[in-house]
Amino acid sequence: MNDQIFEVVVSTLSSDGQPHHAPLGVRYQGAEVVLMPFKPSSTLLNILDSGCAVLNVLADTRVIAGCVTGRCDWPTRSAERVPGVRLECALSHVELRLKEQQDNRKRPVLPS
C-alpha cells in the first residue's frame, strides 16, 4: 500500500438519500483506492449501506472547513456511474464501488 495520503472530501448518501460530505485521507494500492473512515462515522455507515462513495479533489479549502464546522450545503451534481453525488466545485472526482471490508477496531479498510 502506498504510504502517501491524499486529502479529499468524500461524498456519500445516507439510507434516506441525503448527501453527506466529509474530509478523508485516502491511499492508493495499485489501481485501488483505499478508504479508512473512523468508527463510528456517518461516512462509514453510508459506504457500508450503499457500497458507494465519491471522492472529490478540491482546491477550495472552505469546503473542508465547512464540513468540519457544519456548513455542508455545497452545490452537487449527480454521479454518473454510482448512486450518489459529487461536489460541483471539485477539480475532479472519482466514483467508487466497495469491493470488500477488512474490519478493524478503529478504522476499517475499504478497498474500492
9-55 per-position pLDDT tens digit:
999 999 999 999 999 999 988 888 988 898 899 999 999 999 999 99
Collect all residues with Cβ–Cβ distance below 8 Å to 70 and sequence separation of at least 6.
none
Domain count, the chain: 1
Residue 112 lies in a domain: no
Peptide bond into 40 cis (omega under 30): yes
Residue 1 lies in a domain: no
The residue range of the domain holding 18 is 6-104
Give ∠ CA 5-72-94 in degrees, rounded to 5.
40
Cβ–Cβ contacts within 10 Å for residue 29, how many?
Answer: 11
pLDDT at 72: 73
- CATH number, domain of 15, equals 2.30.110.10
Residue 37 lies in a domain: yes
pLDDT in tens, 98-112: 988 888 777 767 777
pLDDT in tens, 58-100: 999 999 999 889 887 899 999 999 999 999 999 999 999 998 8
**Which set of grid coordinates corresponds to residue 50?**
450503499
